[in-house]
Amino acid sequence: MPQVSSKSLLDIHPRELKGIVKDIPTLPVIYQELFQKMQDPNASVPQIAAIIAQDQALTAKILHLVNSAFYGFNKEIRTISRAVVILGFQSVRSAALAVSVFDYFSGEDSSQLDMTQFWQHSIACASICKILAAETRINQQEEAFVVGLLHDTGKLIEKRYFSNDFEELVQAAQEQQMTWFDTEKALFQINHATIGKAIFRAWGFPPSVVDAVQFHHAPDSATKYPQLSALAHLADYMAYPLGYPAPGSQAPTECSPAALKILGLTLEDCHLLIPKIEEDLDGAMEILKLV
Ligand SMILES: [Fe+2]
Ligand SMILES: [Fe+2]
């Protein structure tokens, strides 16, 4: 995959990101149309279903996802209209967002980053986010899982479009035994969270998802959707000891106290949820078939 910019991550200033993201290929038109329509409060179920129905593979993948153990709905959902009626717009939108990113990065090789491990970490975070969201009864529960699933997408943008810098990042993180985020901080002015924000904003993702991805390593700075950012942060922290580390990164040494405070949880509370999370994880890993 070619470098999209003559610029290197080494000298991109956060202010320049928007312009650079413009050069990165966007999602297929059908997704743009779909996300735009789903943002429209007057959109009807048949309108949404009609857009998705234009693409059979997309229809099949969304149905596969909503019928997976992950969604925990015990009767088979056979049509998109049914899915919207039963699970709601937001849940189907979250499924479509996930599928759009899976598709975009399908076929990505594991040369510098183990892609299976990447998605396992992401799915584990999705599962943890879902359980913590239900437990803490926060708003935006339907979005919690997709935030967990897509929180580290910025790393894949770095990998695909800035491969020279990516190589340097992988090596430095390994040699210095650092987390990915700390390595980025040491080398660049931007990081995978800010890249994720810029790319998702450009792709028309909902502001809640954009915001949570942006602040998943700094939940104390999130002002618009602090709970979602805190969930992603906590899920990422918990995924490592559960056996689902992010590839190429050391485990974070601490969890942001702000994240726990925002969610009204203690680390002991989280610990007590581990059996529930482990039970959910087995079913959740089924989603790997879709990536
Ligand atoms: Fe991250
Ligand atoms: Fe992560």
Model confidence pLDDT, tens digit, residues 219-255:
999 999 999 999 999 999 999 999 999 999 999 999 9
Q: What is the pLDDT of residue 141?
A: 86
* Domains (range + CATH), the chain: 9-27+108-290 (1.10.3210.10)
Q: In the predicted model, is pLDDT for residue 1 greater than 60?
A: no
* Distance of CA 115 from the midpoint of ligand 1 (Å): 15
What is the model's pTM?
0.95
Q: What is the pLDDT of residue 10?
A: 87
* Distance of CA 190 from the midpoint of ligand 2 (Å): 16
Q: In the predicted model, is pLDDT for residue 3 greater than 70?
A: no
With helix as H, strand as E and coil as C, how does the chain read? Answer: CCCCCCCCHHHCCHHHHHHHHCCCCCCCHHHHHHHHHHHCCCCCHHHHHHHHHCCHHHHHHHHHHHCCCCCCCCCCCCCHHHHHHHHCHHHHHHHHHHHHHHHHCCCCCCCCCCHHHHHHHHHHHHHHHHHHHHHHCCCCHHHHHHHHHHCCHHHHHHHHHCHHHHHHHHHHHHHHCCCHHHHHHHHCCCCHHHHHHHHHHHCCCCHHHHHHHHCCCCHHHCCCCHHHHHHHHHHHHHHCCCCCCCCCCCCCCCCCHHHHHHHCCCHHHHHHCHHHHHHHHHHHHHHHHHC
* Distance of CA 190 from the midpoint of ligand 1 (Å): 13
The 10s digit of each residue's pLDDT in 97-122 is 999 999 999 999 999 999 999 999 99
Q: Which ligand is nearest to the CA of 154?
A: 1
Q: What is the pLDDT of residue 137?
A: 92
Q: What is the percent of the chain with per-residue pLDDT over 70, rounded to a whole number?
A: 98
* Distance of CA 152 from the midpoint of ligand 1 (Å): 5
Q: What is the percent of the chain with per-residue pLDDT over 90, rounded to a whole number?
A: 87
* Distance of CA 75 from the midpoint of ligand 1 (Å): 35
* Distance of CA 69 from the midpoint of ligand 2 (Å): 22
Q: What is the pLDDT of residue 119?
A: 98
* Distance of CA 233 from the midpoint of ligand 2 (Å): 8
Q: Which ligand is nearest to the CA of 193?
A: 1
Q: What is the pLDDT of residue 256?
A: 97
Q: In the predicted model, is pLDDT for residue 149 greater than 90?
A: yes
Q: In the predicted model, is pLDDT for residue 195 greater than 70?
A: yes
Q: What mean pLDDT, rounded, does the chain reach?
A: 94
The 10s digit of each residue's pLDDT in 34-91 is 999 998 989 999 999 999 999 999 999 999 999 998 888 889 999 999 999 999 989 9
Q: What is the pLDDT of residue 5?
A: 63
